[in-house]
A and B are shown apart, each in its own frame.
Chain A
């Protein structure tokens, strides 16, 4: 087991880094909640997303109290939890995922379930499954630097911090220095899924950050729901993240795989 982990972290280059080396624009990152719509959908959603052309996939670890999320993702969290999703089960589902899926995978989750799972064990299991990066939105920077960073690094996991339109320039620099993989640019002052369309003020913020010359690639998320918003976001960043709009697709009637394909097609082509 340990051997395999060492190979993952030392020999192979992290898949997120590799992605941004070969593709620096129109990178599509898609978010879904593990355990939604059905408990065992995780791997089939991953496969369908990869075949449809997603460049990066973010799997949400469901939590009972997702304060940064709007109604759509909240509801997917509730369904996933009542389906019986747990972090332990997610790790089991992802165990052999690298035999079937090769796009970079990021786990996103509120900190409490991870703390209960145990941070060392969590990171080791992530590495074991072939997870490439983590987004833990309520992890404070100082705690990341003092406690989490060494464990992430030991397991070859990259760390993404968020910035928002209200984040000060000094803090954006600090975040850029402590992020690896990519920066998650929250498009507006909002919870997930709250706003539609991209305003001039938002574009001005995208441009302002674009001109800062940050070290890390940037992906814009929140309110990206279709081709129009994806294109707009990509003008001033390396790509964008679709969350709530994709959760709605997963909730649609009909064949899930073809729904996914139709949706992703519309966004990127």
Chain B
């Protein structure tokens, strides 16, 4: 099966560009230009150079021996937590800032949930000397305080989104409204594989460096490019899309996506979109969406700000619908325990988003000769307060 986006931005039944006319010229400009710009040798050279010298790529593929022993399989960690700024998000923001410059845009806006995308955006704006405004839900500003201050230190303005659930969905609404009001000089750096076409595919391509590196590194270590499983957490789905991208067509590789089940999928406090959602339209694309019978978007819940989103990227909705992806969901409690476990077994404190991916290992019935690659999407520095509050360590 080919997982491929079509001309209008659909992955099977999901995707597209459902936007009000006010956004049309901006999105059209991006759609008409991004492939030419990003395939230009100069762009590629600058992108690769920055990923290498500034971000620190390639990130290691690390055999986690104690974790492997614990789960009875060979588990590798793709160390996106070692990227500059502490998560995979920067792969995308480097790509988009270079694109924005070539489109002649002078200002940048972004939305952020955990603050990782906000920090990654602010960082590249500082690097390029570009003005930057980041929208962040009020609830998220409170639970990810260090990242708010990091963004401010880096020179960005952080604007609280105080509508709705005051989390990632609402920050995205506010960023879109800002873009409507500032259509000509501003580029909107979306932080995940969501939004109207071409964003989902564009962001996935910038993140696809993750799986490109995994293939090379695994070949060196195991003599094969193909693990049995690639595992990643899914908020909007950018780290997962990056980790899966170069494996879409390798049916032997199981693509495992892990969503946040919050307090549990039957409690009304969850963000597990494939379990609780149905097809719908939000933020410019048709995808799986948590919503009421009347089509109102349901406010999700997760302990992790980066997974607290009522939708998923359209490519993941497609992976789910076609069965190419395997989807698990794990609760706050399971994720927190998995985060502590990784800290104790490997000396790596993961971001709470990432902890969700680790918590799925025990649901997977692994065999001793299985090779598993987990995308360690980010580090836990930003989450210390949440770990401390949770307290069970």
Contact = CB atoms under 8 A, between A and B. Distances in A.
Contacts of B53: none
A116 B293 contact: yes
Contact of A115 (B164, B284, B295): B295
Given A68-B20, A138-B19, A143-B16, A87 B294 contact: yes
Contact of A161 (B21, B176, B295): B21
Q: Which 6 A-B pairs have the closest CB atoms?
A: A113-B295, A116-B295, A162-B21, A137-B20, A166-B25, A68-B20
A140 B279 CA distance: 17
Interface string B167-178: 001000100110
Contacts of A190: 22, 180-181
Interface residues of B, number: 34
Nearest to A143: B16
Interface in B183-219: 183-184
Given A88-B294, A161-B21, A116 B280 contact: yes
Contacts of B295: 63, 87, 112-117
Interface string A88-122: 10000000000000000000001111111100000
Given A68-B22, A115-B281, A164-B21, A191 B297 contact: no
18 contacts: A63-B296, A64-B296, A67-B180, A78-B164, A112-B295, A113-B296, A114-B295, A115-B295, A138-B18, A140-B17, A143-B16, A162-B22, A166-B24, A167-B24, A190-B181, A191-B22, A191-B180, A191-B181
B22 A111 contact: no
A33 B53 CA distance: 53
Interface in A141-191: 142-143, 161-164, 166-168, 171, 186, 189-191
Contacts of B181: 189-191, 194
A19 interface: no
Contacts of A162: 20-22
A96 to B, nearest CB: 22
Contacts of A53: none
A43 interface: no
B184 A166 contact: yes
Contacts of B180: 67-68, 189-191
Interface in A46-83: 63-65, 67-70, 74, 78, 81
Contacts of B343: none
Contact of B21 (A65, A74, A143, A163): A163
B291 interface: yes
Interface in A118-144: 137-140, 142-143
A194 B177 CA distance: 10
A186 B17 contact: no
A244 to B, nearest CB: 14
Given A65-B283, A70-B177, 14 more contacts: A67-B20, A68-B177, A88-B294, A112-B280, A114-B295, A115-B279, A116-B293, A116-B294, A138-B19, A138-B284, A140-B18, A140-B19, A189-B22, A191-B181
A64 B164 contact: yes
A142 B8 CA distance: 9
A113 B164 CA distance: 17
Contacts of B19: 138, 140
B75 interface: no
